[in-house]
Amino acid sequence: MDFGALLASTRASGPSVVQARVKNTLPSLLGPDVVRVLHFRREALERGALVTIDKVNSRVRVLPIGIGRDPNDEPA
């Protein structure tokens, strides 16, 4: 079970999680994207969110997951 599944199944309101769905997780390759997304998604992360990063974009799911919200709350 991954962090997203754990957050959804427990309906937890925290902690915020940033997960990368990429093949290469070398810090030199992934780091710039993580820093960019941390700045761009700062408010959502401070409120409580699951942020998923892939090769093209990031997606936010506001916590708690599955309680009266669209599962794709804030795509970017």
Whether residue 42 contacts residue 75, with contact meaning beta carbons closer than 8 Å, is answered with no
pTM: 0.79
Coil, helix or strand for 5? Answer: helix
Residue whose pair of structure tokens reads 């290469």 in the numeric block: 24
Q: Concatenate the DSSP letters of all residues of 41-67 into one string.
A: THHHHHH-EEEEE-SS-EEEEESSTTS
- The torsion angles phi and psi of 2, rounded to 5 degrees, stand at -95, 175
For residue range 10-60, what is the model confidence (pLDDT) as tens digits?
999 999 999 999 999 999 999 999 999 999 999 999 999 999 999 889 999
The length of the chain in residues reads 76
Total domain count, the chain: 1
Question: Where in the sequence is the domain holding 10, given as residue range(s)?
Answer: 3-75
The predicted structure's pLDDT at residue 20: 93
